[in-house]
Structure 1
Amino acid sequence: MSAPFVQAVLAGHSSLGLAFAALIYLVCFSGTVAVLVHDFERWETPVVAPVEAAGPDTAVATARSFLSGHPATEHIFISLPDINSPRTRVYAELHDGEILEGFAGTDGTWPGPAQTPWSAFMLGLHIDLHLPHAVGSFVVGMTGVALLSLLISGLLSHPRIFRDAFHIRLGGTKRLQEADLHNRAGIWALPFHIVIALTGALLGLTTLIAGTLALAFFKGDVEQTYALFFPPALEDDTTPAPIPDLEAILADAAARAPGAELRMLRLDHPGETGQSVHVTMGYADKLAFGDSYIYDGNGALFHSEQVSESSLGTRILQTIGPYHFGWFAGWISKIAYILLGAALTWVTSTGVAIWTARRRSKGHPAPVTERLWAATVWSQPFAYALSALTALVWPGPDPLLVWAIATGLCLGLTVPFGPVALSAGLRVASAVLLTALPLAHVLRHGAGYADPMAWVINAGLLAGAALIALSLAWRAAPARQSSMA
């Protein structure tokens, strides 16, 4: 590649990175934490014991327990424990639009909605930034497109990046060291970065893609587009009717899918003549959702779809979510995604730092950008930790409001403080808050957790505090050495 081409691509890489830097960083940071959303839900509700095993009997008992207390239910989803979470999860929408979410007991009883406000805030921030869903998911999807473009332009602007994949200039200037680490972290985990950016873009731009297909093939009728991917619905009839025999339905589904296990039981319009029962039977060796069976109000099979007979496109669509969040191999994939997600977040943060350092070395510093970027990067560990601590000790305020105030406060500190002081101060504050979280958790819930995951998360929070403290010490070491020289 010619030098002018490389310079042009590098300029475009820098411009695109600066334009989307804050959004990309926020999406990458929130996505890394969201990998553990099921585990943080368990941390927020440590009194709920994990379920050793659950099957059709548990699903039926859960459905009956919930519907006995909420007969005016529009939809109810019952997801059985899996490799991601050892809990029977319930999600229901009532006739009045109220949403109820929680976890059934080991015997299938419904104890009431679970209080997991911080987990819901954290996942929502990654999915749609808590904006109206269509708008927020579009913004997140475009952020994924920008990230994918940055990965490609980063490769094209560094012709020797593969050749120098294991070459790092240590002992030189801080800017050159960070540039080398930025490039190496980008290339070492390139397949992961591409998968995350591509799947994130597809998930976020679903509405836009569906609308485009509707305009191209169905004269703008979006419902026909969605009909390509979703099963047909029964005719709506609100006349009261008894719930069909769920045991017989689940036994029939199991007979039709030998070797599969029940993953989800869904009831639409239960107690009405137009009700339907959806059964999903999953396979341990497949990422796709599994075989789907739909029964009418009389318990007769209305529609079925086997994953082995579905199109390649359908199977790809069903695996986008697990591949994007790392929810497919238990803790093996979760730990890998946390480490790789942290690397991608770090690559994003150092990209802007390298740009500002390059400008400063050329005699054209950008002090405002330096301050804003330091506040942006270190505001998120601080804001996340503060919102989690507030939700733990004072459940009243919305975690989103606490996060927004904390983030705004950090940005406001760019007026009196420089980037070095901001970075150091916010790191110290973040480490202190992360250390306080496990202590506050034990004080509120006691040490006799029914779910041992609470101890795992507490240990992880302390490890995060230690890593931030180490990063502060690592940053301070060169300054001390310089002052002693």
Structure 2
Amino acid sequence: MNAPFKIDTPTTTPAPATLVQRALGGHAAIGLLASALLYIIALTGSLIVIHDRWQRWEQPNIAETASLSPAAAQAAMTAVVAGEAGKPRTTHLYIRMPTPDLPRAVVTTDNGAWYVDGAGKVVGREAHAWTEFVIGLHEYLHLPATLGLIVVGAFGVMLVGLVVTGVLAHPRIFRDAFRIRTRHNTQLARADWHNRLGVWTLPFVLAVALTGAFIGLGSVGTTLLARAYTNGAVEPVYATIFGHEPKPDAARAPLPDLATAIRAQATQAPGTTPTYVIAHDPGTRGQHVQIIAEHPRRLIYGETYAFDGRGVAKGKVGLSDGPIGRQAAASAYNLHFGNFGGLAVELAYMLLGLGLCVVTATGTSLWLEKRRRRGLHSQRMAACWAVVVWGTPLALLAALWLRGAAGPDAPLVGMFWGLMAAMLVAAIAWPLWATAARLRTVAAAAVLATAAGHAALLRPEMGGPIAIDLIAAVSAGAVLWLFRGVRTVRSI
């Protein structure tokens, strides 16, 4: 008997994914993993670009001075050290010199920080706790310092990955850089804003992401280099960039001569502007002085000039004219935080940072909408994302109110994360309550109320803090106007 006739049925093999499809998949995976914390880092980073101005805004009634003379700097150090009698001896004393952004002199020790007037007299405690809270949230996510820097640095790497995969996933992204279909449905408009802002902010995002990764992961690289070349000692590795320090000698000695050191630095590098005067181990024989001075038209944060306890110059580190790697390392900080070019650059950084916030928010919103169209919509996920986008500024404001009500020692960190956790729990339990529209309205109203209440307490001559209140009020009004009529749960 002949074998039955066999018909071969062709099997369909899925076509291999294209580069665009693979990039799109990688882009979505990285974005979902990083989106919530990346949004918080971007939002707080946009705020702390003007941290000096926030410091004045938070403590508007402190006496200000345009400069601090060498004699006044010496008097300020003497007054602060005398005021800390009975406390543990400080190992480092920093004098932050007045600048146009912050025309106040601040003396910081291991035990606290104090404002001093133009004569070097202590006039009040430095207590801008909310500003420091926001800085800590951006730089460390309130984790222990080294771990926090590593985590935030890792998010910088993720952001670079998002930028690269986002560009690869949209071959026409540059050709369509100015195409926004605002008259089409909400999803198309949101996608266009996501893509267009991604293009417009691309150089900025790459700059801050790469420098953020460099700053945050620097400790990891330093540890690896130390294990490879210095038997695990990290100090020699840091010294290749920031310079070596003399050996300590704890024997008692008169306080260092800061006045002579400041005068010598002005002679050694005319045209530079001292920003920090640092006394290491003050009151000991091993004490020495460093002066960090800004160089005009340079991206470096400053050059470090070294002096002994008598104010005799011992050279400089070479951040301004040393090896190119050292200059690049000293330039990463200003490039990341926008501390160059004055107010115009700061405002540009803030706007671009807010653009990154919009890109992050719309990216996850687009993914949630795609899930909805596939029948996988989750009101709880949408509500949780609304809490991240609009609950974060609300929690930041709540921390500010707590600081105003309870003083600079209030537990701002615990309150912020506790409130965020409570809002997320509420979003899971009652998703119809935690809508983007409701949270957005509450956040904008809170900004308006805060700006109005703060401005009412200021004197007319306090132009800087009043300007911040005005900008905040206008921004909150603009948010309410732009989103007027938008009530859907899926909106950002």
TM-score (norm 2): 0.89
Deviations 1:41-88 (A, max 9, x none): 111111114323344344333223322323633211112122432222
Deviations 1:392-431 (A, max 9, x none): 1332631212212221222122134436852122112212
Shift in Å at residue 302 of structure 1?
3.2
SS in 2 for 1:144: helix
Matched, 1:441 2:454: yes
**Would you say the 8 A contact 2:264–2:311 is kept in 1?**
no
Shift in Å at residue 449 of structure 1?
6.5
Q: Is 175-184 or 250-259 further displaced after alignment?
A: 250-259
Residues 168-247 of structure 1: pairs in structure 2 closer than 5 A: 168-247=180-259
Residues 1:156 and 1:420: Cα distance change in structure 2 (over 3 Å): farther
Partner residue of 2:416 out of 403, 417, 441: 403
Match of 1:431 in 2: 444
Residues 1:449 and 1:61: Cα distance change in structure 2 (over 3 Å): farther
Partner residue of 1:67 out of 65, 81, 94: 81
Structure 2: stretches of 5+ with no match in the other structure = 1-15
SS in 1 for 2:301: coil
**Would you say the 8 A contact 1:392–1:441 is kept in 2?**
no
SS in 1 for 2:300: coil
Partner residue of 2:388 out of 367, 371, 376: 376
Matched, 1:16 2:30: yes
Q: Is 108-117 or 298-307 further displaced after alignment?
A: 298-307
Match of 1:482 in 2: none
**Would you say the 8 A contact 1:145–1:198 is kept in 2?**
yes
Q: Is 147-156 or 324-333 further displaced after alignment?
A: 324-333
SS in 1 for 2:442: helix
Partner residue of 2:465 out of 451, 454, 476: 454
Matched, 1:86 2:103: yes
Residues 284-299 of structure 1: pairs in structure 2 closer than 5 A: 284-299=296-311
SS in 2 for 1:125: helix
**Would you say the 8 A contact 2:259–2:311 is kept in 1?**
no
Match of 1:475 in 2: 486
CA distance in 2, matches of 1:419, 1:141: 36
Deviations 1:270-323 (A, max 9, x none): 111111111233322223233322222343333423444312111121121211
SS in 2 for 1:293: strand
Residues 82-481 of structure 1: pairs in structure 2 closer than 5 A: 82-93=99-110, 98=111, 100-395=112-407, 397-418=410-431, 422-441=435-454, 446-448=457-459, 451-473=462-484, 475-476=486-487
Residues 1:4 and 1:442: Cα distance change in structure 2 (over 3 Å): closer
SS in 2 for 1:263: strand
SS in 1 for 2:260: helix
Deviations 1:91-144 (A, max 9, x none): 211xxxx3x123222322222422211111111111101111111111111111
Residues 1:262 and 1:295: Cα distance change in structure 2 (over 3 Å): same
Shift in Å at residue 145 of structure 1?
0.6
CA distance in 1, matches of 2:257, 2:229: 41
Deviations 1:366-396 (A, max 9, x none): 4332222112111111101111122113326
Matched, 1:28 2:42: yes
Deviations 1:146-188 (A, max 9, x none): 0110000000111111111111223222111111110000001
Q: Which amino acid aligns with 1:340?
A: L
CA distance in 2, matches of 1:438, 1:188: 30
**Would you say the 8 A contact 1:178–1:350 is kept in 2?**
yes
TM-score (norm 1): 0.91
**Would you say the 8 A contact 1:165–1:184 is kept in 2?**
yes
CA distance in 1, matches of 2:45, 2:378: 29
Residues 1:450 and 1:205: Cα distance change in structure 2 (over 3 Å): farther
Q: Which amino acid aligns with 2:486?
A: R
Deviations 1:416-457 (A, max 9, x none): 4436852122112212221221344356xx332774322122
CA distance in 2, matches of 1:478, 1:77: 50
Following TM superposition, where does structure 1 have runs of at least 4 consecutive aligned residues deviating by more than 6 angstroms? Answer: none
Instruction: Give the aligned length.
Output: 471
Shift in Å at residue 246 of structure 1?
2.8
CA distance in 1, matches of 2:316, 2:50: 33
**Would you say the 8 A contact 2:173–2:195 is kept in 1?**
yes
User: When you count helix as a share of all residues, which structure comes out higher?
Assistant: 1
**Would you say the 8 A contact 2:96–2:277 is kept in 1?**
yes
Structure 1: stretches of 5+ with no match in the other structure = 480-485
SS in 1 for 2:187: helix
CA distance in 1, matches of 2:273, 2:40: 37
Residues 1:355 and 1:244: Cα distance change in structure 2 (over 3 Å): closer
CA distance in 2, matches of 1:339, 1:155: 21
Residues 1:353 and 1:263: Cα distance change in structure 2 (over 3 Å): same
